[in-house]
Structure 1
Amino acid sequence: MKIALMMENSQAGKNAVIHKELKDVVGPLDYPVFNVGMSDEKDHHLTYIHLGIMASILINSKAVDFIVAGCGTGQGAMMSLNIHPGVVCGYCLDPSDAFLFNQINNGNALALAFAKGFGWGAELNVRYIFEKAFTTGERGQGYPLERAEPQQCNAALLNDVKAAVVKANYLDTLKAIDPELVKTAVTGECFQQCFFENCQVPEIEEYVKSVLNS
């Protein structure tokens, strides 16, 4: 599983802490982590709006399999990611959120609160969140287990409804976004390295190149 970590301007100063905890948890599983957002306050400016665009490009191009994002409360990042096709983002404040999202919703992104409630021992909470998100075995098994069948059915139905509502293919939706927003989202060196080295959809790669060269 390839994982992208992305952080926006308000919480960029915590990137080193979050990045370390994520790598410490998934490193033994040989899951590569791509730190594609802001690494500190001096990095190029991103908002949670840009995080949604970045996540959608990485997921829909199959450059990564999972996104860890967030903002001050986590709410803006969750909404920003969830408006895009193919991205299913959960809201995660504690380890049980991560476990239940893993087992019941089986999505491909998490939005964490990096300011609200982020006090003494916060790095421990983040570590335990990542442990429940990535080291609890097969995903989508349901919880409690006797509820597995309807939960799996509803998760699949939700994805079908989202696809029906969006209707257009992903590249059309990406092209409908203000190109300047997209350009800012894809400008980062670490993002570009992750995307161009792992993108599996040539059409998306061509469009991102055209935006960067515009």
Structure 2
Amino acid sequence: MTANRRVVLSSDHAGIALRRAIATHINALGWEAVDIGPTTPESTPYPQHGAAAAQRVASEDCRFGVIICGTGQGIMMAANKVPGIRCGVCSEPFSARMIRQHNDANMLALGARVVGEGLALAIVDGFLSAEFEGGRHATRVEMIAALEQ
């Protein structure tokens, strides 16, 4: 499968069950889920998992990333420290579509303690089905990228 159909998934301990459900769902949609863990429920720091997934996206090994912690906020902050990453936390499908269409987001963060499985799958669907619109939005994404310099 080509890199543009690969989605890396990672979480901290709070997101393991939701991450596994999302991996199954992503595979059923015809994408390749690349689950990089963790696999055990011991407490583990979200920054290392957000950064590890972001590195896979930044290197273009994976087209997108879905990362999960309790709220989605902390793991999103860690991922966004990796140059080239545009990650947003979403709690409903509309925002997930919009971060792709207007911000060319390449990663999605979810809160396992915020959204249930059914809603999380709908959010992932919104994210993966949307396309970047370009146009005036491309100039704004370029402005975001310039902040990394």
Residues 160-175 of structure 1 correspond to what in structure 2 (within 5 A)? 160-162=146-148, 164=149
Q: Deviations 1:147-200 (Å, cap 9, x if unpaired)?
A: x633221112111222x1xxxxxxxxxxxxxxxxxxxxxxxxxxxxxxxxxxxx
**Residues 1:135 and 2:129 are matched in the alignment:** yes
Taking only the aligned residue pairs, the percentage that are identical comes to 23
Asked whether the equivalents of residues 55 and 87 of structure 1 are also in contact (C-alpha less than 8 Å), the reply is no
Structure 2 stretches lacking a partner, 5+ long: none
Asked whether the equivalents of residues 37 and 46 of structure 1 are also in contact (C-alpha less than 8 Å), the reply is no
Larger radius of gyration: 1
1:75 to 53, 73, 79: 73
Q: Select the structure that is richer in helix.
A: 1
1:96 to 94, 97, 116: 94
Residues 1-12 of structure 1 correspond to what in structure 2 (within 5 A)? 1-12=5-16
Q: Give the partner amino acid of 1:41.
A: P
Tell me by how many angstroms 1:2 deviates.
1.2
Distance in structure 2 (CA, Å) of the matches to 1:105 and 1:21: 24
List 4+ stretches of structure 1 deviating above 4 A.
Answer: none
Q: Select the structure that is richer in strand.
A: 2
Tell me by how many angstroms 1:80 deviates.
0.6
Asked whether the equivalents of residues 55 and 82 of structure 2 are also in contact (C-alpha less than 8 Å), the reply is no
Distance in structure 2 (CA, Å) of the matches to 1:23 and 1:46: 26
Residue 45 of structure 2 is matched in structure 1 by: 47
Tell me by how many angstroms 1:73 deviates.
0.5
Structure 1 stretches lacking a partner, 5+ long: 142-147, 165-214
Q: Deviations 1:79-124 (Å, cap 9, x if unpaired)?
A: 01011112111111110111000100012111111112x3xxx222
Q: Deviations 1:127-149 (Å, cap 9, x if unpaired)?
A: 2112111123xx211xxxxxx63
Give the number of aligned pairs: 145
Residue 142 of structure 2 is matched in structure 1 by: 156
Tell me by how many angstroms 1:40 deviates.
4.2
